[in-house]
Amino acid sequence: MTLPIVLVTGQLLTEAVWQPLLDAWGDREVIVADNRSDDRIEGFARRLLDNAPPEFILVAHAMGGFVAFEVMRRAPERVAKLALISTLASADGPAQTARRQGYIDLVENGRFDQVVEERIPILFPEEKRGDAALLGLARRMAAETGAEAFLAQQRAIMARIDSRPRLGEIAVPTLLIWGEKDGITSRAHHEEILEAITGARLEVIAGAGHLPTVEAPEAVVPLLTEFVDQ
């Protein structure tokens, strides 16, 4: 039996960040979870579980990883496999909170368009910041998300709990994917998760930043396809 796949997307991102996988998995049941309708991680997780099949494979990116950890706390028996991309398990520290508050200030001052411009240097490595296709994609996804949903996502992220204490309870096959030039999450973040989850595996994507699914689909699509099929 081929299990359905649920994709959980990060902030200011839409299902377009999954397009290479959606194209490759056209014959599968794939559900993209709602990442716009709540302002708490618990709400996103509850909505995902309410709309997901009884058992599924969970693939989460960035903020989606925070949702995935909550799903694993609430209903671990429903998740057959877990893939985590460009995420971290800890709560925000002062520097992250200050950065997020800066984004909120921009939006509240009517400068939402500037948020994605501020994020481009941490989304993409320097050599890709002139890539019109990637920058255009990031800007379109931000525009489609919109200011109101972005503020709700920020509130959810800032209020999230530290997921590290319960990582050891995750007992399903787990794949971690990290772009080696990610400006938001680090290798240390992923190794922290790797060490806590028995049997987890980390794959590092050379040259990729925070959005490896669209920066390096030639590497990520086969990795994830093999993982969900094995």
Residues 66-111 pLDDT 10s: 999 999 999 999 999 999 999 999 999 888 888 889 889 999 999 9
Q: Taking a C-beta distance cutoff of 8 angstroms, is the pair 189, 91 a contact?
A: no
Q: Which CATH class is domain 5-92+154-229?
A: alpha beta
Percent of the chain with pLDDT over 70: 100
3-state SS assignment for residue 119: helix
pLDDT for res 96: 86
Contacts of 114 (CB under 8 A, 6+ apart): 106
Q: Taking a C-beta distance cutoff of 8 angstroms, is the pair 12, 148 a contact?
A: no
> Residues 39-52: pLDDT tens digits?
999 999 999 999 99
Is residue 1 over pLDDT 80? no
End-to-end CA distance of the chain: 12
DSSP symbols for 159-195:
TPPP-GGGGGG--S-EEEEEETT-SSS-HHHHHHHHH
Comparing CA positions, the residue from 18, 116, 111, 112 lying closest to residue 64 is 18
Structure tokens at 37: 């309708």
pLDDT for res 127: 96
